[in-house]
Amino acid sequence: MGENKECNSMVDNCEEVPTKEVIEFRPPLYKQRYFFVKNLVQQHKPKKVADLGFGDATLIWMLKYHHCIEHLVGVDTYAGSTSQWEISNLSPSVGDYLVPRDLDLTITLYRGSAVQKDSRLVGFDLMTCIELIEHLDSEDLAKFPEVVFGYYSPRIIIISTPNSEFNPLFPASTFRHLDHKFEWNRMQFQTWASDVANLYNYSVEFTGVGSPPAGAEHVGYCTQIGVFQKNEAKATESCISTPEEHVYETVFTTAYPSLQEKKNLLLVLSAEVLRASNSMRLRFIVDPKKKVNGRLVPEDSCVPRYGLIVTDAQRAQIESSPKPYCVGKKFYVPLERLITFPKVNRLVDSVERLRSLLSEALKLNRDQSALQVDLHDHYSRTMLSY
Ligand code: SAH
């Protein structure tokens, strides 16, 4: 979305205007705003996040890397085209399929206005309105609190807007963007925000990003930010169900692969289990002290040295678990041993669950207490022949 970056360009890209010194923000101001949101996400771990006025969706893209978020929604009157978003970095990549997330993630972009009510936006944990309100005319600004605070009523709302007290430090003494309907000083923003917070039973704290240069500290941050938190009493009240009302047009939606889906869990678990057992098997084969039939494998050859980072405690746990063994040309790794491997243990929390999943994908021994693999495969035969 050109508009946004244009919007930031005067302050972020330091256009040369001879009359006044250029103010350079490092990192650029728009990034400081996004980092501010990311920090709050890290702190509060919201599951459902909506960005109103998402622009070019950079913030949404940055937020998709937060594993706590399961629903990420953007709303913008502009919103672009479906094909634009399909080929964007909002769609899952090959890497997302190879290493699925622990939890589901859906990203949905809607075309619509932040001052229209759509029931799909009700009950979010966090809503962000980054450089949005100054684009609303007086009529829309008047509707905004009732929709966002009253109807959507998320747990936390972040609103950022230009601080006009900073503007005299810029070369041009106009609004920061042509589409801005107003730019408020700190008193104006804080009065509006406090009134809204009181009316809808939120508390609000003020801060900002983009520190003023030395000597101009009195003007405050370049971007002023209000962080609103819903007071608890209101939270229970708003649990009353909201009638469905779909007003926004969906322009893009995508679901990321996750371990919540059984087929992904099976794939990742099987790969992890095979990696661990393969490592044990190969070391068993090359161990000169081994006897093949039914002999317990020596201690240190059962703990893979490569590809796994294990602490001393984890290693001790692995070593004290039942040992792999060999019968004929088959190599067996007890499930009780496999589950001690941190990467396996992260995926399943009990031997029963491990058994039930592996029995669908891999070969287990008769009493289903151990994974069974061939002692020699093509690779190990080739390796041993050298
Ligand atoms: N939040 C983005 C974009 C800020 S520019 C960022 O920080 O980079 C403001 C954005 O709000 C634009 O993308 C514009 O299309 C959108 N916008 C303007 N009025 C809106 C409204 N009523 N509802 C939703 N989005 C709106």
User: Which residue from 4, 34, 148, 160 has its CB within 8 A of the most atoms of ligand 1, so it is best to mutate?
Assistant: 4
Compute the distance between CA of residue 34 and CA of residue 110 in angstroms, rounded to an integer: 20
Write out residues with Cβ below 6 Å of ligand 1. 1, 3-4, 7, 30, 52-55, 75-78, 113-115, 130-132, 135-136, 140
Compute the distance between CA of residue 50 and CA of residue 204 in angstroms, rounded to an integer: 19
Domain 3-256 = CATH 3.40.50.150:
yes
pLDDT tens-place string over residues 100-153: 999 999 999 999 999 999 999 999 999 999 999 999 999 999 999 999 999 999
CA dihedral 134, 137, 138, 139 (to 10 degrees): -130
pLDDT tens-place string over residues 190-245: 999 999 999 999 999 999 999 999 999 999 999 999 999 999 765 445 556 788 89
Q: What is the mean pLDDT of residues 64-84?
A: 95
Q: State the pairing for strand pair 126-130/156-162.
A: parallel
Backbone φ and ψ for 78, nearest 5 degrees, come out as -85, -65
Closest listed residue to residue 346, CA positions, set 100, 42, 104, 106: 100
Q: 309 or 165, which is more confident? A: 165
Kindly list the domain boundaries of the chain, sorted by start residue.
3-256, 262-384
What was the pLDDT predicted at 223? 98
Quick check: pTM over 0.75? yes
- Does the pLDDT at position 17 exceed 50? no
